[in-house]
Amino acid sequence: MLPATYRKVIARRFSKDFRKAAQIVEVPLNPPGPNEVLIRVHYAGVNATDVNISAGLYTPGAEPPIDLGAEVLGEIVAVGENVTDLEPEMIVVTNSLGGYAEYYTCRARYAIPVAESSPQVLSLVLSGTTASIGLEVAEMRSGETVLVTAAAGGTGQFAVQLAKLAGNHVIGTCGSDDKIELLKRLGCDHVINYKTEDVGAVLSATYPRGLDVVYESVGRTMFDTCVDHLAIRGRLLVIGFISEYLDAPEVVNSARIYGKLLGKSASIRSMFLLHYIRQVPEHLRRLLALYDTGKLRAAVDRTRFQGVEQVVDAVEHLHSGRSTGKVVVQMWDGNA
Ligand code: NAP
């Protein structure tokens, strides 16, 4: 028996301050329309970019309110007309906007069935596929030197492991010593704590040939240092720039970057998952196969967040820099 109403988190006004933007509202629970499925959300994934979504950057031209969130794992509780390949009780994942909610309606073609309901599987959906597709865009091969920034985070952990599985030497950066142990367990050959070590000095001393691939998601001086240390034909993939999400972009006054790139035939690329959404199912299948056979681990942050009431705390926890692995909010514990 489904409830008549459910709660979700919306942005009642646009702000990068997620707490100021967010509001919990209770709305009617409608049956799914044609070609749609209704999902009871078990877990919602927390992402660095939630503050960009709450600022309206993902919905140009739209006025608030908008639904917040970006990915869910849950159980189908109803299917609409014309839906033939999905049925109630199936566990599915999906990553489109919204999802910080107790129930979520989406087009059936965006719901991908998975075997297990767990925060680990959820972490593969957006964070894992970003790493998998991103490293493909960076044309990562084997026998290369690969550096991953924010390596112990939601997506960084997968970039580390996929780079290692492909037979590369992997360097990870992180901001606390307690993340070093995890990164070593995930396969990092060298971990740099950027808060206690000078990343540029370590790279100059240890990797004078430079970096073949950089999976870069921090920005500011970390980005600059990585560009300076690209190898000949090195590729730096811009995945994000979390250090600038909550502030205005830093204005820098320096020589144009082509001077640094051409001398090394190096390149800067970027990958925004929404532009690669058609590739997600194929990459997710590959990640699930690696996860199911124990070749890929999925680290989930230990802080428990429960229900729509704790979504704001979870987003702020991710932005505190203290989280390790994927931050997840549990929306359903099976007892409600
Ligand atoms: P996350 O890595 O789980 O969490 C953020 C981590 O970033 C922190 O734990 C912190 O770890 C590190 N960090 C470095 N400088 C920071 C700063 N100034 N403030 C806060 N944290 C800082 O988050 P995520 O959701 O997986 O996202 C990571 C990056 O990937 C973000 O830039 C995000 O936008 C990007 N991303 C992009 C896509 C895409 O489609 N392009 C998809 C998913 C994620 P340490 O200090 O230990 O390094």
Measuring from atom 14 of ligand 1, which residue has the nearest CA? 218
- Predicted confidence (pLDDT) per residue in 214-245, tens digit: 999 999 999 999 999 999 999 999 999 999 99
Nearest residue to 271 via CA among 132, 146, 95, 144: 132
Q: How far is the CA of 321 from the centre of ligand 1 (A)?
A: 8
Q: How far apart are CA 125 and CA 104, in angstroms?
A: 16
Measuring from atom 39 of ligand 1, which residue has the nearest CA? 272
Q: How far is the CA of 87 from the centre of ligand 1 (A)?
A: 35
Q: Which of 47, 97, 130, 243 to mutate to test the pocket of ligand 1 (most atoms within 8 A of CB)?
A: 47
Asked if residue 235 has its Cβ within 6 Å of ligand 1, the reply is: no
Write down the pLDDT at residue 92: 98
Domain ranges of the chain: 5-123+300-330, 126-274
| Weakly modelled stretches of the chain, pLDDT under 50 | none
In the DSSP assignment, the letter for residue 250 is P
Share of the chain above pLDDT 70, in %: 99
The beta strand positions in 59-205, using DSSP E, are 66-67, 72-79, 91-94, 103-107, 112-113, 145-148, 169-174, 190-193
Q: Are 193 and 174 in contact (CB under 8 A)?
A: yes
**How would you classify residue 290: left for phi > 0, otherwise alpha for psi between -120 and 50, otherwise beta?**
alpha
Q: Are 215 and 134 in contact (CB under 8 A)?
A: yes
Q: Are 139 and 235 in contact (CB under 8 A)?
A: yes
Q: How far is the CA of 153 from the centre of ligand 1 (A)?
A: 6
Write down the pLDDT at residue 334: 79
Write down the pLDDT at residue 1: 87
Cβ neighbour number for residue 143 with a 10 Å cutoff = 9
**CATH 3.40.50.720 corresponds to the domain 126-274:** yes
Place of tokens 């409830």: 3
Q: How far apart are CA 219 and CA 242, in angstroms?
A: 7
189: exposed, middle or buried (Cβ count in 10 Å: 0-12, 13-18, 19+): middle
Place of tokens 């124990």: 294
Q: pTM above the 0.85 mark?
A: yes
Q: Are 48 and 76 in contact (CB under 8 A)?
A: no
**CATH 3.90.180.10 corresponds to the domain 5-123+300-330:** yes
| 3-state DSSP helix/strand/coil % of the chain, to nearest 5 | 30, 25, 40
Write down the pLDDT at residue 335: 60
263: exposed, middle or buried (Cβ count in 10 Å: 0-12, 13-18, 19+): exposed
State the closest ligand 1 atom to the C-alpha of 150, by its place in the atom list counted from 1.
48
Q: How far is CA 148 from CA 12, 65, 95, 131, 274, in A?
A: 36, 36, 24, 10, 21
Q: How far is CA 44 from CA 163, 169, 198, 307, in A?
A: 27, 33, 36, 9
State the closest ligand 1 atom to the C-alpha of 325, by its place in the atom list counted from 1.
3
DSSP 3-state assignment of 334?
A: coil
Write down the pLDDT at residue 232: 98
Q: How far apart are CA 252 and CA 220, in angstroms?
A: 9
